[in-house]
Structure 1
Amino acid sequence: MTQNNLQELKEIWDQWDDKIKKLFYCNYGDLPYLLDMKVDKHLFRALAQYWNPAYSCFTFEKVDLVPTVEEYMTLLRFPKIQADKAYLRAVNVPTFLKKLMSITGMSEQWVVAQIKQKGDSKCIHWKNLRDLILAHPDMKKRVDVFALSIYGLVVFPKTLRHIDEAVSDLFVQLDKRVTPVPIILPETFRSLNAYRRAGEGRFIGCAQLLLAWFHSHF
C-alpha cells in the first residue's frame, strides 16, 4: 500500500480551535477522522484476498459485499454535497498553476516555484502546503489547503508526500456541491483489481475509508 505519514496533518488538526474545525466540517464533511484510522496492513491484505475481480465485490463464502455510493456518503457525511451531482472532468479545465493559485490564494510566482514534475504528472510537495496552512492569514484558505492535503495524501495517495494535479481537478469542483464518492469508489475498485492481478501489486486507493467501511459491517 502507498501510505503517507499523516502525523503532521493530525498535529495541525489538533491545534485548531472549534471555530476553524466547524468551518472545515461545514465545507468538507468528516474527512479528518480518516487521519485517526490506523491501517492494519495484515488485516488489509487478508481483506484483499476476498476481493473478486470478476464481479468487483468481496466474496465471503456465499456472501457478496461491496462498498456503495450511499455507504461512502454516510461515512464521509458531506453537509454541502448533493448526492446526485457527480463529478465530471470538464473539457477545458484551468491549468494546475491557475487551480493552485485559486485554492491557495498565493501569487503566480510562488506557485510556479512549488510545482514539480513526477513521472507523467505535475504535483506539489506536502511540506509547501504544510507551511502555507501554518502561516496563511486567511482562515478559509487554511481550511481549503488542509482539505486539499487530505485529498492528496489520504484519499488519492498516488505519489508519496505529494499532491497530484488530478486531485486539484476534483477539488476545485467541490464548491459546485458535486460528490467525490463516484470517483473514490472506482479508484478503490481499480486498485483492488490491480492488486489481485499482480499478486503483490500496490494499492493506491483510500485504505482508511475502505477499512472504515469494513468495520461498519463487522
Structure 2
Amino acid sequence: MVRIWDLAYACFIFNQDDMTPTIDEYAALLRVDNVQPYKIYVKEPKPMTFKKKLVRLTDMTDAWVEKQIKKKNETICIPWSSLRDLVLNHPDMLKRVNLFALAIYGLIIFPKVLGHIEVVMVDFFERLKQGINPVPTILAETFRSLSSCRKKGKGRFIGYAQLLNVWILSHFWKVERTPFHMFSKTFSPLEAYFKKEWPKEVTEQHWVSVFQNLRADDVTWRAPWIRPSVLLYKVRDQDWMPLLGLWGGVGYAPLMVQR
C-alpha cells in the first residue's frame, strides 16, 4: 500500500481514483459512537511523569516501576512481559482489564517499540478513560507512518495495520482479476483472507499491479459497515484540518475523497 500512497495529497491513488480512510469510517469500524466526537487527544503541557502514572495504573511500588522502565532507541518504555504477569495475577480485576487494554494500544494500535509499551501510551490511555475520541489520533499516525515509509522507500509501519487491512479489503472485495482469480470460487477475497485461504503465490508485485490498474467499478465506494449519518467533510468554513497524533500532526482534507 505504501507504493501507491501519495505524499502531497495524503491518499492512495488507485489508477485514476483517489481514496483514503476517513474519520467516519474508522469511527464506524471501532464503534466509538458513545465517545464525544469533538473531544480529541492533545498532549498535556505539563504531564505527570511516566513513573508516577505507571505507579497509579499498576498499584505497584516506585521501586518496582523504576526497575521496569527501559530505554530503547532513545525511547522510554516498559516491556510487555513486565505487564503480562500483572494482567494475569493482579488482585484488582479492573486493573487487570486496564493493563490489558493498555497493552493492546501499545503493541497493536501504536507499535512503535516492538514488545514494549511506549511512554506516550500511558498518557494517551489515561486520556481515553476521560472520554476522548481515539479515531483522529489513530488516523493521524496511520497517515504519518505511510508518508514516512513512502519517503524512505522502506521502514516499519507504526500504526493500526489490522484496521487499515480491514478497510482495504472492505472496499476492494469485488476485484476478480489477477491475483484475485487465484481464489477458491467459494470465497470472496475478504473471506479468503480471514479463512487463511490466501494463495501463497500472491506477491507484493501482484498487489501493486492490481491496485495500479483498478477501475472505478472495482471499488465498493461505500463499505457495507458504514453507518448512515452526516459525514464530516469540512470544519466551519475550512475544508482542511489538522489531525494530531501521538508523535506529530498531519493535514487531513476529507473533501478530496467525498465520493
- TM-score computed with the length of structure 1 as normaliser: 0.75
CA RMSD of aligned residues (A): 1.3
2:16 alignment counterpart: 62
Q: By how many angstroms is 1:77 displaced?
A: 1.3
Residue aligned with 1:172, SS: helix
Amino acid at match of 1:133: V
Give the distance between the partners of 1:128 and 1:92, measured in 2 at CA.
27
Selected match of 1:111 from 65, 87, 95: 65
Structure 1, unpaired ranges of 5+: 1-46
Q: By how many angstroms is 1:79 displaced?
A: 5.8
2:107 alignment counterpart: 153
Structure 2, unpaired ranges of 5+: 173-259
Q: C-alpha deviations, 1:71-92, integer Å up to 9, x for none? A: 1111111364212110111101
- Percent of aligned pairs sharing the same letter: 51
Give the distance between the partners of 1:146 and 1:79, measured in 2 at CA.
22
2:209 alignment counterpart: none
Give the distance between the partners of 2:30 and 2:13, measured in 1 at CA.
24
Quick check: 2:27–2:33 contact (8 Å CA) kept in 1? no
Give the distance between the partners of 2:64 and 2:57, measured in 1 at CA.
13
Residue aligned with 2:129, SS: helix
Give the distance between the partners of 1:82 and 1:76, measured in 2 at CA.
14
Selected match of 1:71 from 25, 32, 55: 25
Per residue, is there more helix in 1 or in 2?
1
Query: 2:98 matched to 1:162?
Result: no
Query: Residues 115-126 of structure 1 correspond to what in structure 2 (within 5 A)?
Result: 115-126=69-80
2:136 alignment counterpart: 182
Residue aligned with 1:128, SS: helix
Q: C-alpha deviations, 1:121-143, integer Å up to 9, x for none? A: 21000001111100011111111
Based on CA coordinates, which of the two structures has the bigger radius of gyration?
Answer: 2
Give the distance between the partners of 1:195 and 1:130, measured in 2 at CA.
31
Q: By how many angstroms is 1:188 displaced?
A: 0.9
Query: 2:24 matched to 1:94?
Result: no
Give the distance between the partners of 1:110 and 1:77, measured in 2 at CA.
36
Quick check: 1:126–1:149 contact (8 Å CA) kept in 2? yes
Amino acid at match of 2:14: F
Moved more, 127-136 or 78-87: 78-87
1:130 alignment counterpart: 84
Quick check: 2:6–2:12 contact (8 Å CA) kept in 1? yes
